[in-house]
């Protein structure tokens, strides 16, 4: 029992990072129709920038966590405004090529600025240090915080999209951009805004990961983008509800795999994805796109 609880907790905290990245990914796809392969880079940039700010602003940990992702939003703005906008009308392979180029560019940018090696954040970042005893075994307080943040972000996103005026406009532009434009919505500006917001979500994931992962490397965005893609596809591309559920499932499944099926822990999530796609090709909550 103790073991199961801890495996689930470890899986949930891991799943929350995947959720934060996948939420931005799926939001951008749902509204802009772009599969942004560089989304993992925003996660990486969020981590690196926040890490530097944590050092500079120490001991104001939360200020750094707040400002770090905002700085990364500038990168998101530049990518959308100056590059992506040119390929909206082109086919998917062109978008993938462009965004993949940005993965390489950002990886190398990080190598130039922060070095090719690993950075290890020092202990005692922020007030959430230490562990609590859960069923006789220690569990880091910070991980509990992460587990709490994930659902809060999900709730806030839902409220924003379903219950506000801006949410209605976003949904309108997502379902029919010509019609929305005809009704006076400034679609290009709206797309830029949504892309920046998605960037921010990924960067927040990266910022929160700084004390959690304990190591920053220039390739850290690439491993999480794969998981985020799986989650987004599993939940149905464009569906936030699906991404949230998918992230929880993948996180927990990963933890169970490592614990109970070590021989093929990495194969488990791909098997699950294959199974879901066979039964529901559009993913759990995917809707048909015209």
Partner 1 sequence: MARKRVSRRRFLELAGKGSILAAAASMFPRGVFAAPPSIKGPIKIGYGTVLSGTLAGYGEFHKMGALMAQDEINAKGGIAGQKVELEIRDATMKPDDAIKTARYFVDSWGADFLAGIDSSGQALALGPVMQQLDKVLIVTHAATEKLTEEWVFKKGVRQIFRICNATYHDGNAAAYVAKDLPAMRWATISPKYEYGFTCWKMFQDTLGKLKPGTTFQTESFAPAGTTDFRSHINTILDARPEGLYSTEWGGELITFVKQAAEAGLFEKVKHVLFPVGAAMDVLEGLGKEMPDDVWISGRYYFRYPDNQTNNEWVARFHKRWNHYPAYVSETAYSSLYALKAAVEKAGSKDTKPVIQALEGMELDTPAGRRLFRKEDHQAIYDVPWGKTKADPRYPIKIMGEQKLVPASITFARPPFEGPGTRPPF
Q: What is the rounded (10 degree) CA torsion for 87, 88, 91, 93?
A: 60
Residue 228 CB, shortest distance to partner 1, in Å, is 15
Interaction between residue 140 and partner 1 (CB under 8 A) = yes
Interaction between residue 219 and partner 1 (CB under 8 A) = yes
Q: Which is nearer to partner 1, 2 or 164 (CB)?
A: 2
Q: Strands, E, within 113-262: which ranges?
A: 131-134, 137-140
Interaction between residue 14 and partner 1 (CB under 8 A) = yes
The alpha carbon of 271 is separated from its chain's Cα centroid by a whole number of angstroms, namely: 22
Closest-CA residue to 252 (of 10, 3, 1) = 10
Which 101-130 residues touch partner 1, going by CB under 8 A?
Answer: 111, 115-118, 120, 123
HEC per residue, 4-31: HHHHHHHHHHHHHHHHHHHHHHHHHHHH
Could you identify the residue written with the tokens 């990364």? 72
Q: Which is nearer to partner 1, 239 or 254 (CB)?
A: 254
Count CA atoms within 13 Å of residue 138 on its CB side. 5
Choice from 97, 166, 215, 274 touching partner 1 (CB under 8 A): 215
- Rounded Cα distance between 116 and 123, Å, is 22
Interaction between residue 167 and partner 1 (CB under 8 A) = no
Interaction between residue 138 and partner 1 (CB under 8 A) = yes
Choice from 29, 139, 191, 195 touching partner 1 (CB under 8 A): 139
Choice from 131, 179, 271, 277 touching partner 1 (CB under 8 A): 131
265-279 vs 220-235: helix crossing angle, rounded to 10: 30
Q: Which is nearer to partner 1, 148 or 166 (CB)?
A: 148
Six-digit token string for 93? 């392979």
Name the segment binding partner 1 (CB under 8 A); options: 18-26, 58-66, 148-156, 217-225.
217-225
Interaction between residue 259 and partner 1 (CB under 8 A) = yes
What is the gyration radius of the CA atoms in the chain, in angstroms?
Answer: 19
Interaction between residue 226 and partner 1 (CB under 8 A) = no
Q: Which residues bind partner 1 (CB under 8 A)?
A: 2-3, 6-7, 10-11, 13-14, 111, 115-118, 120, 123, 131, 137-140, 213-215, 217-220, 223, 254-255, 258-259, 262, 266
């Amino acid at each position: 029992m103790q073991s199961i609880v801890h495996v689930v907790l470890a899986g949930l905290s891991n799943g929350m990072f995947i959720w934060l990245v996948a939420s931005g990914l799926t939001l951008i796809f749902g509204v802009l129709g772009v599969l942004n392969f560089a989304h993992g880079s925003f996660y990486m940039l969020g981590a690196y920038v926040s890490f530097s700010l944590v050092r500079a602003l120490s001991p104001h940990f939360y200020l750094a966590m707040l400002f770090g992702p905002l700085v990364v939003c500038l990168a998101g703005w530049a990518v959308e405004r100056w590059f992506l906008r040119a390929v909206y009308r082109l086919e998917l392979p062109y978008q993938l090529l462009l965004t993949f180029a940005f993965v390489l560019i950002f990886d190398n940018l990080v190598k130039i600025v922060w070095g090719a090696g690993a950075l290890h954040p020092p202990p005692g970042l922020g007030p959430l240090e230490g562990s609590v005893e859960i069923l006789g075994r220690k569990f880091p307080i910070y991980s509990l915080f992460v587990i709490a943040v994930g659902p809060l972000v999900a709730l806030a996103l839902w409220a924003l999209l379903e219950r506000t005026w801006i949410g209605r406009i976003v949904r309108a532009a997502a379902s029919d951009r010509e019609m929305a434009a005809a009704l006076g919505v400034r679609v290009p500006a709206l797309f830029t805004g949504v892309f920046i917001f998605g960037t921010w979500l990924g960067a927040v994931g990266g910022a929160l990961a700084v004390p959690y992962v304990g190591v920053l490397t220039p390739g850290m965005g690439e491993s999480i983008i794969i998981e985020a893609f799986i989650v987004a596809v599993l939940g149905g591309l464009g569906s936030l509800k699906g991404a949230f559920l998918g992230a929880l499932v993948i996180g927990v499944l990963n933890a169970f795999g490592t614990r109970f099926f070590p021989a093929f822990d990495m194969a488990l999530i791909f098997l699950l994805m294959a199974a879901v796609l066979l039964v529901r090709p559009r993913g759990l909550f995917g809707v048909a796109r015209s």
